[in-house]
């Protein structure tokens, strides 16, 4: 799905993730929904804050294959690659949160821009 690179677009994207997961049988208050919604909040906030190019939107893709849920957020800015920050620093802790919550995450180049993705493998603890 495509969203405007604004705080409103970020909010709508985050809500879409939560609603879609609920439709897939991952209830709003369940661990899988809460985890992916929090990861989505961080990734879309970064796309709006650091990946914004005037006149360009960001894209969000949520997939669930087997026991893995994958979230991808794409923007059109290539020079601002995400990186983990010092946890003692003044800001930039969002990716540390993604690192802690996701089983794996990374950055994939695309034309134009990049996609930042995160995967969460479902376990008995995150199944519901």
Q: What is the pLDDT of residues 114-125, one digit of tens each?
A: 999 999 999 866
pTM of the model as a whole: 0.87
* pLDDT at residue 85 greater than cutoff 70: no
What pLDDT is attached to residue 112?
86
Residue 120, strand partner residues: 69
Per CATH, domain 2-121 is 3.30.565.10: yes
């Amino acid at each position: 799905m495509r969203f405007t690179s604004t705080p409103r677009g970020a909010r709508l994207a985050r809500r879409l993730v939560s609603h879609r997961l609920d439709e897939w049988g991952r209830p709003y208050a369940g661990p899988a929904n809460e985890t992916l919604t929090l990861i989505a909040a961080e990734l879309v906030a970064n796309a709006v804050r650091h990946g914004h190019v005037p006149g360009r939107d960001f894209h969000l893709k949520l997939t669930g294959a087997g026991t893995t849920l994958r979230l991808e957020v794409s923007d059109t800015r290539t020079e601002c690659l995400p990186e983990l920050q010092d946890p003692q620093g003044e800001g930039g802790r969002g990716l540390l949160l993604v690192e802690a919550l996701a089983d794996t995450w990374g950055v994939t180049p695309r034309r134009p821009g990049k996609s930042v993705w995160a995967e969460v493998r479902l376990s008995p603890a995150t199944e519901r």
